[in-house]
Amino acid sequence: MKGKVAIITGSATGVGSAAAILLAKKGCNVVINYTRSEEEAKETAALAEEHGVEVLICQGDVSNDDDCQSMAKAAVDKWGRIDYLINNAGKTKFNAYSNLDGLSKDDFLDIYAVNVVGAYQMVRAVEPHMRKAGKGAIVNDSSLAGVTGIGSSIAYASSKAALNMMTKSLAHILGPEIRINSVAPGMIQTRWLKAGMSKEKYENMLEGSRKKLPLQEVATAEDVAETLVWFLEGAKLITGEVLIMDSGVHLGTLPAYSSGDE
Buried b (16+ CB within 10 A) or exposed e, 198-218: eeeebeeeeeebeeebeeeeb
Question: Under 8 Å CB-to-CB from 204, ≥6 apart: which residues?
Answer: none
Q: Please indicate whether residue 156 is annotated as part of the active site.
A: yes
Integer angstrom CA distances of residue 83 from 7, 154, 179, 254: 8, 34, 11, 42
Instruction: Output the CA torsion sign for 76, 1, 119, 31.
Output: negative
Judged by DSSP in three states, 138 sits in: strand
Nearest of 89, 91, 96 to residue 110 by alpha carbon: 91
Catalytic site residue from 84, 112, 156, 257: 156
What distance in Å separates the CA atoms of residue 215 and residue 183, rounded to the nearest whole number? 18
Q: How far apart are CA 38 and CA 24, in angstroms?
A: 19
Q: Is 79:129 a contact under the CB 8 Å cutoff?
A: no
Please give the C-alpha separations between residue 40 and each of 17, 34, 112, 122, 193, in angstroms, as whole numbers.
Answer: 9, 9, 25, 22, 17
The residues assigned a catalytic role are: 156
